[in-house]
Amino acid sequence: MDKVFTLPYLRSISESLSNTIKKHGFSIAYKCKNSLNKFIKVKKDPIEKMSHCNVVYKISCCDCEASYVGQTKRQLSTRVNEHKKDINKKSGSPSVISTHRMNFGHNFKWNDVQILDEEDSFRRRLISEMINIKRQLKPLNLQSDTDFLSNDYLPILSKFPSL
């Protein structure tokens, strides 16, 4: 069986090299040294942050260290708008963001919502949400949001500041 070398094709050198190598029982396969991949870069247009789906996000308070971490499958803008509308509603139980606003009169950084993670899997997104809730300095989230994440993991999580 022949042994094959793959080399770039060089006009004057390749033919003479091929003859020499054939005498010793080898074959050469040529490849183009200039591929279209070097010249044509196909990339998708970047997606605006608020158009991302399947995210874990953080909304920070403008006036203190408090923050809220949530997750959504839908576009981030849709979920953030729901949080904004909840502050203005007159009936029903208020969200933790609305409660913080009513109790302290604080505003939130609606134009600076952070995406902490992107994950298509619902279960993985929930785990990421729990981890990020636990890592907040002053969480607005209810403690029940992290019931399924044992406190035994906290020493491990503190060793990785940017999971």
The pLDDT assigned to 28 comes to 78
The pLDDT assigned to 116 comes to 96
Same domain? 134 vs 79? yes
Residues of the chain whose pLDDT is less than 70?
Answer: 1-2, 158-163
Chain-centre distance for alpha carbon 93: 32
Same domain? 102 vs 53? yes
Q: How far apart are CA 139 and CA 93, in angstroms?
A: 19
**Residue 83 domain boundaries:** 49-158
Same domain? 29 vs 57? no
Strands (E), 36-107: 55-60, 66-72
The pLDDT assigned to 163 comes to 47
The pLDDT assigned to 67 comes to 96
- The answer to whether residue 41 is domain-embedded is no
- The answer to whether residue 163 is domain-embedded is no
- The answer to whether residue 43 is domain-embedded is no
The pLDDT assigned to 13 comes to 75
How buried is residue 17: exposed, middle or buried, by Cβ count under 10 Å (0-12/13-18/19+)?
middle
Same domain? 59 vs 82? yes
- The answer to whether residue 59 is domain-embedded is yes
| Whole-prediction pTM | 0.68
Total number of domains in the chain: 2
The pLDDT assigned to 77 comes to 97
- The answer to whether residue 44 is domain-embedded is no
- The answer to whether residue 20 is domain-embedded is yes
